Amino acid sequence: MTSPDHDVVERNKAAFLRLQEEVIVKGRLDLVEEIFAPDFITARAGTAALMISRNRPPYPQSGSVYERFITGWKHMTETFSGQQRTIEAIGGEGDTVWARWRISAVHTGDFLGAPPTGKRLEYTEVGFVRFDADGRIREGWFLCDEVNLARQLGLSLMP
């Protein structure tokens, strides 16, 4: 018999995996409102630090959380197409899930001033997400290997 806490963690891990594969990779934007709480906040998101280092706003500044996510998703999939995500580790406790995954994508659009190279890029990202009682993501912290990504794009992180 499994504990209620175990069941919640497994439910939350499944939601996180749906976000990665169905929403981000397959573009199932109809699932965004099901997966994210309406008050979702991101403390830090993957390439945000790299974007800030290049004086680019990391996210749309207006609209609902769903509109901002969809706008950001569209930009990233135009810039990094054919995205594949491989979950290398995932765990959870209570209302929090953490994971490490490898991203592979083709650089097909301008990103922070780097013109499309057509090269396949690979980098690692980690994330910690907190869920609400209904199993929707309400907080997220995402960190990617910005230095590796910047080097692959030929970007300088120095002003």
Tens-digit pLDDT string for the chain (159 aa): 566 788 999 999 999 999 999 999 999 999 999 999 999 988 766 666 666 666 666 556 667 888 888 888 888 888 899 999 999 999 999 999 999 999 999 999 988 778 999 999 999 999 999 999 999 999 999 888 878 888 898 877 665
Q: Is the pTM of this model over 0.95?
A: no
Which are the contacts of 67, defined by CB distance < 8 A and separation ≥ 6? 60
User: What are the beta bridge partners of residue 111?
Assistant: 114
Joined tokens for residue 81: 């197409």
Specify the DSSP element, H or E, that contains 102.
strand 96-107
Torsions phi, psi for 55 (to 5 deg): 60, 45
